[in-house]
Amino acid sequence: MDKNALWPGILADLELNLSPGNFATWIKPISCLALNRVRPKKQLLLLGCPSVFHKHQVGERYIGQIQTAAEKLLKNKCEVALEIHQKPAAANLNGGGGSQDDLFSLDTKKLGREAYQQAVIKSGLVFGMTFDNFAVSTSNEVAHAAARTAAKKPGEIYPLVFIYGGVGVGKTHLMQAVGHNVLIKNPHASVVFCTGEEFTNEIIEAIKNKTTPSFRQKYRQARVLLLDDVQFIAGKSGIQEEFFHTFNAVQKNGGQVVLTSDRQPSDIEGLEPRLLSRFEAGLSVDIQPAGFELRTAILLIKAGLKKIDLPMRVAQVIAANVESTRKLEGVLMKLNSEVTLRKEPITEELAMALLNKFNGEAEALKTRINPRQVVTRVADYFQIKPSALYGDRRLKTIAMARQITMYLLRKELQLPLSEVGRILGGRDHSTILHGQEKIARLLPQSEKLRFDVTAIRKALYVDKSR
């Protein structure tokens, strides 16, 4: 069996055993480079991954399944090796790795690219928000699969996809990716993207300028209608009336509707019953906040798009210490600015120094929690007395709890080293700095530590909000 026969068989096996999102994100981009016999009863399968991060993820999560599938087909021992390999047509229209160029023939590629770019501008989409640049994990794989299906067969399988979740989880990106995918295949398709606020303002302007017919033509004849933050129209009866008829017109014509909101349909106050019934009749999928692995992936993808040489280890340090996906890009840009000015590479030490300074919510946090609450929460979590954190006992559990306290006092309250030392029994600033940096270094490596710190942080703010 040669590589051209082996690899399709492996793909078929993995597609059956993996979720659609994980298969599309991690397995499909792999290239089969070679299949060589290294010993009479052993072969070597060489696979190509499009990036360092992709190679790392496949090596960590899927290489065992690939090897098992290969050995089952070969009926022989098989070793799997990975290397970085860009497909010849991997660069897409937006600068990220992908296969968009493959959709245009050599003769029409230039014309197709220009038509696509013009269509993106006309539709209101943002360049770069494609499926190729969207990181998939367990927190968003269902929403990703639903969006992929809607993009592949608009209006057929899921005529309405309703994506909901908190701020910065990727709702808008997924929605826009649907529009991009449709326009890549057909730049002449009528795709309309807008926010709930923009939809409202356009209606007001149309009424004011007596251009309501053109407004209705634009929205009601859309092949794909993408409305971001639909909760904005709640409580506005006239706007909901117009959207109700727009929604019905698009679906009557076999079009695709994708909506996003910060909450599920039943939780949107002020939403008219007839709209609620239509929203609930569609496919509703939620996106959970990004975990450590997904935040790392997002950082590496953004770094790649901006041509920033971000080492994997540094990305993990940042992802372990910054939970907000919106804040990740700010940290990345600040870090890149620092290394550009210093003319030196990005290092863990530089990233950690920046993380100590970078906290846009510092002043707000100071008013929400105080040092005593931090000490109490940590002590309660580890089931020890607060006095143990002030003392000198070096039992493993107490020492770790004490260092977590140092980390939280510095990160959440932005207290000076000397002040943290004073709170924790008169320790010197070097001890506090060592404890804080130790926790920051361990966070990317220890899932248990990330769980502990996250649980304590949540307990702090739950207590404060009561």
The whole-angstrom separation of Cα 73 and Cα 320 is: 40
Q: In what order do the strands lie in the sheet with 191-195?
A: 191-195, 224-228, 256-261, 160-165, 283-287
Phi, psi of 97 (to 5 degrees): -65, 140
134 φ, ψ (degrees, to nearest 5): -105, 120
Write the DSSP assignment of 267-290 as a string of letters: G-TT--HHHHHHHHHSEEEEEPPP
Residue type, 131: F
Q: Which of 53-57, 161-165, 359-363 has the highest mean pLDDT?
A: 161-165
Angstrom distance (rounded) from CA 145 to CA 22: 9
**Res. 97: pLDDT tops 50:** no
Please count the helices (runs of H) and the strands (runs of E) in the chain. Answer: 22, 8
- Alpha-carbon distances of 97 from 86, 132, 189, 398, rounded to whole Å: 9, 6, 24, 47
Q: What is the pTM of this model?
A: 0.59
| Domains assigned to the chain | 3-84 (3.30.300.180), 100-287 (3.40.50.300), 292-358 (1.10.8), 363-465 (1.10.1750.10)
Give the bridge partners for 225, in sequence order. 192, 257
**Backbone dihedral region for residue 193 (phi beyond 0: left; psi -120 to 50: alpha; all else: beta):** beta
Angle at 112 between CA 170 and CA 161, to 5 degrees: 30
Residue 218 DSSP label: H
Mean pLDDT over residues 99-121, rounded? 60
What pLDDT is recorded for position 53? 66
All residues at 6 or more sequence positions from 445 whose CB lies less than 8 Å from its CB, including other chains: none
Q: How many CA atoms lie within 13 A of 139 on its CB side?
A: 18
DSSP 8-class letter at 27 = I
Q: Quick one: 71 exposed, middle or buried, by C-beta within 10 A (0-12, 13-18, 19+)?
A: middle
* Residues 6 or more apart in contact with residue 55 via CB below 8 angstroms: 49, 82, 83, 84
Instruction: Name the residue with tokens 């004849």.
Output: 221
Q: What is the DSSP string of 60-79?
A: HHTHHHHHHHHHHHHTSEEE
3-state secondary structure of 408: helix
Supply 370's token pair: 């105080």
Q: How far apart are CA 227 and CA 224, in angstroms?
A: 10
Structure tokens belonging to residue 192: 């309309």
Say how far apart CA 175 and CA 168 lie, in whole Å. Answer: 13
- Burial group, residue 309, by CB count within 10 angstroms (0-12, 13-18, 19+): exposed
Quote the distance between the C-alpha of residue 249 and its chain's center: 33
Q: What is the pLDDT of residues 392-433, one digit of tens each?
A: 888 888 999 999 999 999 888 888 888 899 999 889 988 998
Residue 365 clears pLDDT 70, i.e. is over it? no
How many other CB atoms sit within 10 Å of the CB of residue 159? 18
Which residues are registered as beta bridge partners of 91? 97
DSSP single-letter state for residue 416: -
Structure confidence by residue, pLDDT tens digits, 252-311: 999 999 999 999 999 999 999 999 999 998 899 999 888 888 888 888 888 888 888 888
What is each CA distance from 329 to 109, 139, 308, 335, 336, in whole angstroms? 33, 19, 12, 10, 10
pLDDT recorded at residue 21: 64
Interval 41-72: pLDDT, tens = 788 999 998 777 678 778 878 888 999 999 98
Burial of 110 (0-12, 13-18, 19+ CB in 10 A): exposed
pLDDT in tens, 177-232: 999 999 999 999 999 999 999 999 999 999 989 999 999 999 999 999 999 999 99
> Residue 466's pLDDT is what?
42
Give the span between the Cα atoms of 113 and 91, in whole angstroms. 13
